Each structure stands twice: as structure tokens, then as C-alpha cells.
Amino acid sequence: MMKKIILCSLLSASFGVVPAMAQTATAVSQAKVYGTVAPPVKPYSTHRLATIMQGQQSATLQLVGMAKEVCQKEGCWMTVGMDKRDGYDVLVKVKDHAFVLPKDITGRQVVVSGVVTQKTLSVAEQKHYLEDAGASREAIAKITEPKQVYEMEAVGVAVN
């Protein structure tokens, strides 16, 4: 029975029944990959994280979105969202500094594989990330309270 389900799923994807998934799989196969990114089985947008994470401390999954900010010092983190104005950003850190991200990928589509957790960022951490991103002193000074965020420890990133 399980073999039939898997076979039907694969056939459905190959015939365009799941076009978003097929497009993402194609995008990953044509992308520059850092670390390890398996072909997407069910990539999620950052908008779905609140629902996915409900009642869980962590979840292993793939996210699809746009690189919004990238660490300009080492390429060790980025924020991912669906568009520039999106409030559902995810802070993506490279697991064990296994690879570095290009510093010029802001605005490009990414598929990120890893473990997502919910976390509170302290004021000091927020300011540190803004400094790494090259933010102005005024923007950094505006940070006065801790912030709840989703953080992903990435094992791989595919950049289009």
C-alpha cells in the first residue's frame, strides 16, 4: 500500500498536479547549492510556520522564500521571507559554520533545509545581527526589547 502511495505521489508531481512543488524542485536542481539540500518534498513558505510549529519545540523541514538580509561579515546567517515587506521572516543560521552564504544574494529565491525552532532574541543579539547586516546606528539604536523569532539551523541552502 505504501509503495502505491509513493508511486502515485511521484506520478502526480511529474504530471504537474503539484506545480508549485515541481517548480521548486526544478529551481533547486538549477540552483547553486551550499551544504546539503535534498529535492523538496514539501517546502513551506514562512507564512505557514505558526501553523506548522503549533505545539512543537522544533521541526525539520524546507522553507522557500526570498533572502532578505545576509551577514556581510562572514556570510553565516540570513533572513528569509516571502517578500520585502513580509513580517514573517525567519533567521537562518548555518549549522556549525559548515559553509558560508554569498553576501550578494539579497532578493534572490532560496530553498533552505534544516531545523526550525522558536526563540527569543535578546536586545544584544538583535543589535549584533543589525551590525553584521550593515545597518545604520539609528536603526540599531531603535532596538529596545527582546523579540520572538523563528530561527532555522540550516544544513543546506539552494540559491537561484
Domains and CATH numbers, the chain: 31-159 (2.40.50)
Whether 27 has a pLDDT exceeding 90, the answer reads no
Whether 18 has a pLDDT exceeding 80, the answer reads no
Task: Return mean pLDDT, the chain.
Answer: 80
Average pLDDT of span 15-41: 60
C-alpha cell at 54: 503549533
pLDDT over 70 percentage in the chain:
78
Q: Which amino acid is at 39?
A: P
Average pLDDT of span 151-155: 94
CB neighbours (10 Å) of residue 54?
7
Whether 2 has a pLDDT exceeding 90, the answer reads no
> What pTM, to 2 d.p., does this model score?
0.75
Whether 51 has a pLDDT exceeding 90, the answer reads no
Distance CA 121, CA 97 (A): 20
Average pLDDT of span 74-93: 84
- Give me the pLDDT at residue 1, please: 37
Strand partners, 33: 158
Whether 47 has a pLDDT exceeding 60, the answer reads yes
Query: Nearest CA to 38 among 59, 62, 19, 21?
Result: 62
Q: Determine the distance from the C-alpha atom of residue 58 to the mean position of all C-alpha atoms in its chain, rounded to a whole number.
A: 14
Whether 70 has a pLDDT exceeding 50, the answer reads yes
Q: Place 9 in a pLDDT band, splitting at 50, 70 and 90.
A: very low
pLDDT in tens, 101-142: 999 999 999 999 999 999 899 999 999 988 888 889 999 999
- Give me the pLDDT at residue 30, please: 74
Phi, psi of 40 (to 5 degrees): -60, 135
Q: Compute and round to an integer the Cα radius of gyration of the chain.
A: 17
